[in-house]
Structures are given as C-alpha cells and as structure tokens.
Chains A and B, each alone.
Chain A
Amino acid sequence: MGMLNLILANISSKPVTRLYPFEIRETCKEAKGRIIFNSENCILCGICQKKCPADAITVTKADKIWELNVFRCIMCTECVNGCPKNCITISCERAKTGAKEYIKILVPKVDTPKTDSPKKASSK
C-alpha cells in the first residue's frame, strides 16, 4: 500500500528538476552574483586592490586602468565595503557563461578639487 501511495504521489507531483537551459533558476536579491564597476566617481585610490584577498583587482594609476580578473574573484565583497566612493557594487545576477576573463575599464579623468596637504598647512 505504501508503494502504491508513492507511485501515485510521484505521478501527480511536479518534477523536482528544471529543464535547464530553458528554465533558468531565479536568484534571490540577496545573492552575490557578480561585481559591477562604475568608473564615473573612481579616484584610483587602490583601496579595493589592497583589500582584495585574492589579488583579483589591479589598479594602474599611471594609465588610469581598473582591472578585475573575474576568474580570481571570490565574491567576498571586501572591495564593495572598502570603496570610499561607492564605485563598486554587487549584482544578484550571475555572470553568463563565456564571459570575458577580464573586466578592464579605463577610468575617465575626474576633476578633484586641489587642497593643501596637512603638512603644508601646518608649516604655514
């Protein structure tokens, strides 16, 4: 009798698995999917590079390049928390297969207001 119940339950219930790739699982909004970099406010301070435990981020100040090696990134979100200008955010959408290995972004020139350094100010 137990076996019959099991058969009937399996016939009437939905399949447990999905028909991937036709049905793609939706990620929840809290999920750590991929890093998104917005270069507009970036001041190339390099804090994200220092904080990254996997050495996935490279900031070249001379050439104004911000690079992320996607295959090295471990999604720890240390860079997201460390960025003083909130340039780095995390999206819940996962990176699609066949994504490029590197995210290489040229940071546009930002006009930062010139201020006297504290040493100069104190000497005066």
Chain B
Amino acid sequence: MTTIIPFGPQHPVFPEPISLKLEIDNDVVVGALPSLGYVHRGLEKFIDTKDYIQTMYICERICGICSGIHGITYSRAIEKLFNIEVPERAQYLRVINSELCRIHSHLLWLGLFADGFGFESLFYECWKYREGILDVLEKFTGSRVIHSMSKVGGASRDLNDEQIDHIQKALDTLEPQVKNIEKVFVNNYTVKKRCVGLGVMSKQLAYEAGTAGPTLRGSGNAIDIRDTPDYDIYRDLGFKTAVGKDGDCYSRTKVRIDEIFESIKLVRNALSKLPNGEISVPVKGSPTGEAIMRAEQPRGEVVYYVKGNGTKNLERLKVRTPTFANIPSLLLMLPGVKLADVPIIVLTIDPCVSCTER
C-alpha cells in the first residue's frame, strides 16, 4: 500500500518553493507529481506596458542568480530582430560577465548542496569564496546581484586597466580555493557515500527526456550551447565542454566543479584578448518580426522568443528556462530511491523556481 506525502513547498533544503507530492511505499519513492505556481509573477504579460529597452530590466529580474545571462540573451534576441552587429569588445564583455555569473552560481549551488547533506563547514567555505567573485562583479557592473551590464546594442559598462587587474587577482586567489573544495567534494567519504550511484540517468534517457545543462552533461552528453557556431566567441577562447560519465549526483557535482575551472580559463582568455573599440551601437525604431535566441545558463539552456509588431512594445515574449526542462528528468530519477535521498536528487538539478514560473 502506498502513501502520498507532500514534499515542499517549504522545506529546509529548498531555497525556493517547489512542491512535490511523493508516492511512497515503505520509505521507497514510487512516483512523484510536481506542483508549481507559488511564485508566479506574470512577467511575460507585464512587458505589454514596457518598451523593448525597459523589458531588458524585467528579464534580468526573472532570476536573481543568473540575471546577467537573462539580460544578455534578451539583448541578443532583440539584436537578432534588428539584424544588428554588436561591437566585438561588447561581446567579450558579455562573455566575461556571463562566466563570472556562472562561477558565482556554481559556488552558491555547491554550498547549498553541501548544506543539503549536512556539511555545514563546506557550505560556509563555498559561500566565503563566492564573496570574492561578487566583489569583482560589483566593481565591474556596479552591483552584486542584478548587474544591468548588458543593453540592447552592446554593453553599458566598460572595463579599465584597474578593473582588469582586480579580476585577474581575484581569479588567481579563487583557483586554489576551488581546488581546495574540489578535494573535499571528490574525495570525502561522506560526500561519496551520499552521492555515488544516486539518481542515475543513462545517457540515452537524459537525452530523450530533454534534460539541460550540467544534469545532461553529467550523463555523458557533450551538449553545450557555448560550443555551437552561433554563440558569440567561445570557440575562439578555447572552450571545452565539461562532461561526466556516470549520470549520478556525484557526476553532476564534478561537472559543475569542472565548469568553474573552465569559466576561470575563459575569463582569463577573454581578458587577455579584449579588443579595443566601441562598446555599444545605437538602436532605434520599433522591432518587427520574430526571433529566437539560446544561451547557456549555469543551470542549462535558456531560450528566448520575441515577437515585435512595429509598435514600441513587444507583442510577445516567451522564455523557456532550464529548470522547466529538468523537471521531467527529475521525475524519472525519483522512483526507486529512498525518501532521505530525495533532497539530494532534487538539489542536483539546481532547481530555480522563480525562473520556471516567472
């Protein structure tokens, strides 16, 4: 006989309200049903009252952690609509901002994950290192969380030599620190005991379920939007996709740690190759037509669809966020695991509910 128990929306391990109705049979999960809608804000409808430049600030507020990449993706979608070529320096600045966002997001997630299985000191350690990156972002963009660095037509802020030095010094400090926490996440007995062989998704199943981001790459699929020809300049910077092989929670954690090192390398390369020139081009008129733009967020692939009808407001804005793609695969992972392991598996998809519901 099975019992249905509510898991969330308020739960100690959840940073955001996601509700799962778990069907359990003697401490083993048999099925799960998600329930969303607790933080729905109607942002896609709200853009009816704002013009397409103001909409960028609304898109940045979809999520607090990956706000920079939301803004950049929206700007790129509008630029595609206008058929505008953005200056090369602005593209490099966007890459630097995106990768710094990714580092701080992954460090935040590693901390939350450590807290999820009760490793408090590791949680504090991860968040302590994240502070250094937030300071860098404050010096670069002017604010620590919602950056507003990107704008339609380029970038709103430039980097000077002093800021470049600050970023490089911060990365030099961060790299040994991340290596330090990597040792714990990879070798620690407790972490291995909680993560290895848990929530396994095969390569084929992860692909078929439409999984995105580190959850997909943790199962052995080398799919990353940054590695596609239409995505900015990542290939020039020597980008390599981080891939896991086992498809379990341990593999997903390792992918995220590898991505931090990859992002550090990308920021360093971008700073060394930063070209001179303008940082933005003027954008005037009202957009007509439709455009789709994809980008790789810390959690996975985000898709922006914009449709303009010649007025100053967009007719439609649609966002597909990575967590929305990862929820079906989460439901496939849960059957067969014990109730005590459910928080670990839910955390490994890095759920961002405010992104999903908007």
Which residues of A line the B interface, CB within 8 A? Answer: 16, 27-28, 30-32, 51, 53-54, 74-78, 81
Contacts and interface: CB of A to CB of B under 8 A. Distances in A.
Interface in B50-70: 50, 53-54, 57-58, 61
Contact of B148 (A16, A28, A77): A77
A75 B139 contact: no
B204 interface: no
B143 A75 contact: yes
Main secondary structure of the interface of A (DSSP, over half): loop
A39 B215 CA distance: 54
Contacts of B143: 31-32, 75
A76 B57 contact: yes
- Of all A-B residue pairs in the complex, the 9 with the closest CB atoms, nearest first, are A53-B54, A32-B142, A53-B57, A28-B139, A76-B57, A76-B148, A32-B143, A30-B139, A30-B142
B85 interface: no
B14 interface: no
6 contacts: A28-B139, A32-B143, A53-B50, A74-B61, A76-B148, A81-B156
A32 B138 CA distance: 9
B57 A30 contact: no
A85 to B, nearest CB: 20
A30 B140 contact: yes
A31 B146 contact: no
A74 B50 contact: no
B142 A16 contact: no
Given A30-B157, A77-B156, A78-B57, 5 more contacts: A30-B142, A31-B142, A32-B142, A74-B61, A78-B54
Interface in B150-182: 156-157, 163
Interface size class of B (residues with CB under 8 A): 10 to 19
Nearest to B143: A32
A30 B148 contact: no
B46 to A, nearest CB: 10
B128 interface: yes
Contacts of B142: 30-32, 75, 77
Nearest to A17: B128
Given A16-B128, A30-B163, A53 B139 contact: no
Given A16-B128, A53-B50, A74-B146, A28 B57 contact: no
Contacts of B138: 27-28, 30-31
Interface string B121-142: 0000000100000010011101
A53 B50 CA distance: 7
Nearest to B142: A32
Contacts of A27: 138
A74 B146 CA distance: 9
A53 B146 CA distance: 14
Contacts of A31: 138-139, 142-143
B48 to A, nearest CB: 13
B246 to A, nearest CB: 28
A74 B139 contact: no
Nearest to A33: B142
Contacts of A78: 53-54, 57
Nearest to B140: A30
B57 A74 contact: yes
A63 to B, nearest CB: 25
A31 B146 CA distance: 12
Contacts of A76: 57, 148
Interface in B18-64: 50, 53-54, 57-58, 61
A16 B61 CA distance: 30
A78 B146 CA distance: 14
